Structure 1
Amino acid sequence: MSEIKISITSVEDSLSSLSNRASQLEKRAEEAEERISATEDHSSRLAAMEKAVERLLLKVDDLENRSRRKNLKIINLPEGTEATTPLVDFLQSTLPALVGLPSDFPSLEIERAHRALSPVPPGQTPRSVLVRFLRFSQREFVLRAALKKRDIRHDGSQLRFYPDLSSEVLRKRRGRAQARLNKYRGFAYPARLRCLHEGQIHLFDTPESAALFLDSINLFMYQYYFTL
């Protein structure tokens, strides 16, 4: 009988030990579930914060580009071509003839103009010129006239005219393929691919969507980068 009692006691001790271990495992499982739940909540909050930051960055970039709407960037204007004349006065008198504005076009109202704030590059491409107009309508008219005329030269240099865009918009434009349909190509603000086919303008948010459209009409797509 004593041996049976000893065996029963041993079994009871083993069961008690197993019960304690099971309780510990249950407690650890509950703690793990709590940590997982907390991690999931943290991940959800982090994802929401990332979306909020992305929206704010888009708004900031939009505000920056709106503040640049009156600006025009001129590339390759020779250094010192204005001589002793203030740059604003030089541009007001020279731009109309350069871009081919109508003779009855009102005098250009330019708030300020300056070269890029960098050292003069000896023997290299001249610094770009940033021009801020008083009115957006005048800047737009000058830019459209320049794009229409295309071949604009001054002192033997071919000039290029661009809107003044934020670095983020320029980054998007540089990184996207440009569709070419019927010899027409371009960007819709801020960086949507734009093309003309059979008299209709098509807009694409991604190069992939443009490629699908091109494939559907058996045309090709080539890489084109927006350069300053």
Structure 2
Amino acid sequence: MDLETRSRLSNIRLVNLPEGAEVPDPCSFLEGWLPEALDLAPLRCPILLERAHRVGLRRDAGDPPRTLIMKFQSYKQKMLVMKAAKEKKDVLYKNKRVRLYNDLATEVHRQRKKYDNVRQQLRSLGLRHGIMPPAKLVVTYREETHTFNMPTEAQEFINKIKEEREEITTE
């Protein structure tokens, strides 16, 4: 898993970019579009991609677009793009929101996916949370940070919060 993670360090996954937007040359398209979409000031050296491609089988017209993976020649440029995307929040392509994520090893992605149900509950409770590498859940509650290594630990924590809130509303 460590080797796979290291090989993906310079990669970004671009989600929700309409199919065909990058045709005929995905690298050239992304090298031009990213600085514009992220409002990056003119760079000393332009963004250079080693390669870019869609993953998975072609989908039907009504289905969501496939994820596009891009590999940067420079890790620093990749980090610059990720920072700009985080600051911008809404990255748009022709008024359609696209999202940028770090490209993770399949096993790390599986581990993080186990937190999906818990994270949905945290969002509904209005609690600030995030995932720390490789797959630890971090929750801020009452200005205190809590870290969980397993979804079951986080679920127990959520149950306690729900009980506390129920007690407050029934009083």
| TM-score bracket for the superposition, by shorter chain length | 0.7 to 0.9
1:155 aligns with 2:94: yes
* 1:83-116 Cα deviation digits (max 9, x unpaired): 44x1111111110121232334641121111112
Task: Choose between structure 1 and 2: higher strand proportion.
Answer: 2
1:205 aligns with 2:152: no
The match for 2:15 is 75
1:66 aligns with 2:10: no
The match for 1:189 is 133
Distance 1:108 1:144 in 2: 14
* 1:20-59 Cα deviation digits (max 9, x unpaired): xxxxxxxxxxxxxxxxxxxxxxxxxxxxxxxxxxxxxxxx
Distance 1:216 1:188 in 2: 22
Give the TM-score normalised by structure 1: 0.60
Any idea what SS the aligned residue of 1:185 has?
strand
Distance 2:88 2:5 in 1: 25
1:165 aligns with 2:109: no
Give the TM-score normalised by structure 2: 0.77
The alpha-carbon deviation at position 204 of structure 1 amounts to: 1.6
The alpha-carbon deviation at position 122 of structure 1 amounts to: 2.2
Q: Which has the higher contact order (CA 8 A, sep 6+)?
A: 2
Structure 1 residues 216 and 117: CA distance shift in structure 2, 3 A: closer
What is the letter of the counterpart of residue 205 of structure 1? N
Structure 1 residues 183 and 109: CA distance shift in structure 2, 3 A: farther
The alpha-carbon deviation at position 213 of structure 1 amounts to: 4.8
* Residues 103-142 of structure 1: pairs in structure 2 closer than 5 A: 103-104=42-43, 106-142=45-81
The alpha-carbon deviation at position 216 of structure 1 amounts to: 7.1
The match for 1:18 is none
- 5+ long unaligned stretches in structure 2: 167-171
Any idea what SS the aligned residue of 2:131 has?
strand
Structure 1 residues 82 and 207: CA distance shift in structure 2, 3 A: closer
Q: 1:92 aligns with which of 23, 31, 49?
A: 31
Structure of higher CA gyration radius: 1
* Residues 13-52 of structure 1: pairs in structure 2 closer than 5 A: none
Distance 2:3 2:33 in 1: 31
Structure 1 residues 104 and 134: CA distance shift in structure 2, 3 A: closer
Task: Choose between structure 1 and 2: higher helix proportion.
Answer: 1
Distance 1:185 1:73 in 2: 21
Structure 1 residues 133 and 156: CA distance shift in structure 2, 3 A: same
* 1:125-154 Cα deviation digits (max 9, x unpaired): 112111001122221221232133221211
Aligned length: 159
Distance 2:64 2:110 in 1: 21
**C-alpha contact (below 8 Å) 2:136/2:149 kept by paired residues:** yes
* Identity level (%): 33
Distance 1:108 1:219 in 2: 49
